[in-house]
Structure 1
Amino acid sequence: MHLVLILVALIVFIVFATSKLKLNPFITLLLASFLAAFAFGLPIDSIEKTIRTGFGNILGYIGLVIVLGTIIGVILERTGAAIVMAESIIKMLGQRFPTLTMSMVGFIVSIPVFCDSGFVILNSLKRSMARTLSVSPVAMTVALSTGLFATHTLVPPTPGPIAAAGNLGLENNLGLVIAVGFVFAVIAAAAGLFWASRCRNLESKELEQAEEAFQEAREHYGELPSAWAAFAPIFVPIVLICLGSVASYPTAPLGQGGLYETLNFLGKPLNALMIGLGFAVVLLKGDNKLEEFARHTQKGLEVSAPIILITGAGGAFGSVLSQTPLGDYLGDTLSTLGLGVIMPFLVAAALKSAQGSSTVALVTTSALVAPLMTQLGLDSDFGRVLTVMAIGAGAMTVSHANDSYFWVVSQFSKMGVATAYKSHTTATLIMGLVTIVCVWLVSLVAL
């Protein structure tokens, strides 16, 4: 029992340090790693090596993937490609179902672009559509924010899901994570869209000059790329990763010849994202593309550095826990309770609600539960993928005042805090609960 009390105390420490003391999650997780090592009685001479190895192992692969994915996202954001992606979806779907269209715009754009940045980029487009089509601004806001949030927490190459997949040993099976993540992200976005339709009577104070604001935002980017050029940097790598996963499937559906070797090589996430980066470079315009590329790369490094460090610290924390008797003890206990995917969801939801960051919740929870996969009955590739989905569902639950995304959504949409809680926060709660119920039902059938 004392092992569980130590684990609970560590979780409380992480929540308290990040939410109340405002300590950086990287330092918090590193401190938690040392505290866990001493509290669980690891040999003194092995503590430093365990932490260092855990930190390095996770970053040896996932770190580069996070950096490349972030740089691609920055280029898509700063060249106006995200706007082109949004307009292409609107042209394809038409304007008969504006909230559905807005949700799908967010859903696609947030795969390479952080949800905060995505909302800022697309806000003027959302306002223009709401005004032109006489649709509730709040309903459109919730449709956009939840569409963005769904893929942000569930679909690689967004850094949070990638880090969680890496912590759970799925770095070579990201294609399966992407495919399953798309399915559950659609479910989550649909739940958010349902709540958006319930928010039509809520009021906000969005500006009237919406169409002019959108045109100004659009003109800011100058000449925009073609739709193919805009989508290629993200969808080419995703297709390659998925094809690589198919090629390396145990039944060898593509044989073992040249086609297998080619797709297996191109489908490695690092290789696929390098190809995606090549497509992103094509988007650069101006006389000095090298200088422009250097600026975007620098910004990508600045954005990705904290995520990489937090991911590494999460790996260190998980490495320490894997060396303790906690797994065996919890295995005997949890196997009788049958919690399965519910346990990682609850931990992620507690962390998300307490400290605000979905990425921190994804990284920390995945590191925490990685040593417990066998005990939870999830020690298979698909079981680990469902665990990533459960953690992603928890990382949605809920976005409120301690979450920067909450303030981006509410302030850019001119909503009062009370309205934002009724619309955006409630929507993220519904999304998380609906998603984990679906993940749990799939686990009952598939595992």
Structure 2
Amino acid sequence: MEPRLLAALVLAILTVVVIVLRTRLDAFFALLFAALVTGFVAGAPVAEVVEAVTTGFGDTLGSIGIVIGLGVGLGKILEVSGAADALARAFVRALGTGREDWAMGGTGALVAIPVFCDSGFVIMNPLARSIARSKRAGYVTLALTLGCGMTLTHHLVPPAPGPLGVAGILGADVGGLVLAGLAFTVVLLPVVVGYARWIGPKLEGSLLPEVRRAVYGRAPSGGSCAPAGEGEKEPDGGPAPALGTPPRDGKPHRVGPLLAMVPLLVTLLLMIANTVVTAVGERGAESGGDTPPSAAQSVVMFLGSPVVALLVGLVLAVYVLLPRWTPRSQVDNWLSEAASSAGLIILVTGAGGALAEVLRGFHVSDTLAAVIASWGLPGVLVPFLVASLVRLAQGSGTVAMITAASVSAPLGPELHVSPLLAAIACCTGAMVFSYFNHSYFWVVTRLTGLDGTAALRGWSGITTAVWLASPPLLLAAGTFV
């Protein structure tokens, strides 16, 4: 074992944490500096270090950069068209009275697949307030299930950008990650609801006075919990100004829940179909057959490739969810905003690929594999723990996932873990104890009206609950994946 190489890995992780926490630079620069520090400390020639950085960066973005950009664009259109809100109200109607917390958790999980958690929570929180106002109770429970439902799929299910980046670095199949992420979400959602039901009533008395007045300060306009949200200001029948002005004889634009689901559902189904067809083809090859895919299989594999599937979903969103009178310039502005928000994520993902290439190319990963073998830990817990430590240190779930994937990718067969399972481990590990150094912590706790220890017991507690429930699931999934 080379102590120098192990020191290079430790310094790489410390470099990421220190730069993110203590400088004005962001995670993109932190990961690039970490890659350079790793190579230099490992004793590699300068020219080879730079070549490894550029190669890793380019290879990673070549496989995943377009996908992240398209996924963020799809989420933006779902957000501005009102589709996300339509889905939320449909969930509440479908599940009915007494199951509103399940409805909010399910809504959050669905909406956060393409929409960033911060904006998604802002959009959906008025519905949680409206339900609580009608019931005269339960706002904290509803807000926590909504927020943590979003956390689940934002960390686990492509086309959320973090899981996409992890898939690109580890070489995991995106469609397979969609299925595995959805399965983990379904199993973990009862943990979210259970914790929220337990802690929510205990924290109702800790609501900030201004939030309590906003939620419960006046009687609901109806006697029952109406999904459309009594007590909230409803649309006046016309479209939001940003959607443009309809012609004089035009009908007001409203997106129904079935229509709202079309772009997202088509995208996910195409990617899943590609995964199934590819898996069937691989099994046929293993059994000794070398028959090329049929024309139908080729079409499914083409349409289900992540780039094409997301492109189809984005086109559907633009032409199905937005009214025909929406100005082209406004659509351009929305997609430009999405591209701006995706830009940093794409760069961070590429920088994570650069770090992975340096770790692999200069045998740092071999040293780490030897250390892990001496611990006797199950291989799947390595990416899980790395993601957890980085998340606790610097706050960003995306940075934690990308860093853990970068460290884990070069280990390959030494972990005895498939790329898909390693990806899930990175994603679940990054959900641990969201607190003051995480921007989403402030979004949820401020809008929910929790402060101080109440915020920690509520939001930090619920994210830690799903984190604690993940290792047994990872170990169980190891027997299948």
Query: Shared topology, TM-score over 0.5?
Result: yes
Measured after TM superposition, the shift of residue 107 of structure 1 is 0.9
Q: Which amino acid aligns with 2:480?
A: A
Letter in 1 for 2:272: C
AA partner of residue 42 (structure 2): F
Q: Identify the range of structure 1 (247-256 vs 278-287) with the bigger mean alpha-carbon deviation.
A: 247-256
In the TM superposition, structure 1's runs of 4+ consecutive aligned residues that sit over 4 Å from their partners are 216-220, 252-255
Q: Structure 2 CA distance, aligned partners of 1:367 and 1:217?
A: 50
The aligned counterpart of 2:267 is 237
- Residues in 1 aligned to 2:189 and 2:158: alpha-carbon distance in whole angstroms: 16
Of 409-418 and 61-70, deviating more is: 409-418
**Is contact 1:110-1:151 (8 Å) kept?**
yes
1:354 to 1:332, Cα distance in 2 relative to 1, 3 A = closer
Q: Name which of 88, 104, 107 aligns with 2:106.
A: 104
1:143 and 2:145 are equivalent in the alignment: yes
For residue 159 of structure 1, report the CA deviation from its aligned partner.
0.2
Identity of aligned residues (%): 33
In structure 1, the partner of 2:246 is none
Is the 1:124–1:217 Cα contact (8 Å) retained in structure 2? Answer: no
- The alpha-carbon distance between structure 1 residues 252 and 157, as it changes in their structure 2 partners (threshold 3 A), is farther
Q: Name 1:265's counterpart in structure 2.
A: 302
Residue 257 of structure 1 aligns with an amino acid whose one-letter code is S
1:274 to 308, 311, 335: 311
CA shift for structure 1 position 288: 4.3
Q: Is the 8 A contact 2:380 2:421 kept in 1?
A: yes
| Cα separation, 2, equivalents of 1:223 and 1:127 | 25
Aligned to 1:446: 480
* Residues 11 and 37 in structure 2, CA contact (< 8 A), matched pair in contact too: no
- Verify: 1:385 aligned to 2:443, yes or no: no
Cα 1:320–1:115 change in 2 (3 A) is same
Shift in alpha-carbon separation, 1:217–1:191, aligned structure 2, 3 A: farther
Paired residue for 2:463?
Answer: 428
Q: Give the RMSD, CA atoms, in angstroms.
A: 2.0
* 1:248 match: secondary structure: helix
Alpha-carbon deviations, 1:332-376, whole Å to 9, x = none?
332341331111111111111111111111111111110012211
Q: Structure 1 residues 373, 121: CA separation in 2 closer, same or farther (over 3 Å shift)? A: same
Q: Quote how far apart the aligned CAs of 1:224 are.
A: 2.1
Q: How does 1:39-438 map to 2 (within 5 A)?
A: 39-170=41-172, 173-199=173-199, 200-203=201-204, 204-205=207-208, 206=211, 207=214, 208=216, 211-213=230-232, 215=234, 221=240, 223-249=253-279, 250-251=282-283, 256-282=293-319, 283-285=321-323, 287-336=325-374, 337-378=376-417, 383-438=418-473
- Secondary structure at the aligned position of 1:212 is classed as coil
Q: Does structure 2 retain, via aligned residues, the 8 Å contact 1:331–1:376?
A: yes
- State the shift of 1:213 in Å: 3.2
Q: Which moved more, 1:326-335 or 1:17-26?
A: 326-335
* CA offset digits 1:247-306 (Å, max 9, x no partner): 111135998212101101101000001100111112122634311210111111111011
The number of residues matched between the two structures is 440
Match for 2:270: what amino acid?
L
Task: Give me the whole-angstrom Cα distance separating, in 1, the residues matched to 2:88 and 2:326.
Answer: 27
Q: Which residue is equivalent to 2:222?
A: none
Match of 2:245 in 1: none
Relative to structure 1, is the Cα distance of residues 260 and 168 closer, same or farther in structure 2, using a 3 angstrom cutoff?
same
Contact in 2 for aligned 1:80/1:218 (Cα 8 Å): no
The structure-2 alpha-carbon separation of the partners of 1:215 and 1:255, relative to structure 1 and needing over 3 Å to count, comes to farther
Conserved 8 A contact 2:60-2:353: yes
SS at match of 2:437: coil
What SS class does the counterpart of residue 365 from structure 1 fall into? helix
- Stretch deviating more after TM superposition (431-440 or 298-307): 431-440
Pair member with larger Rg: 2
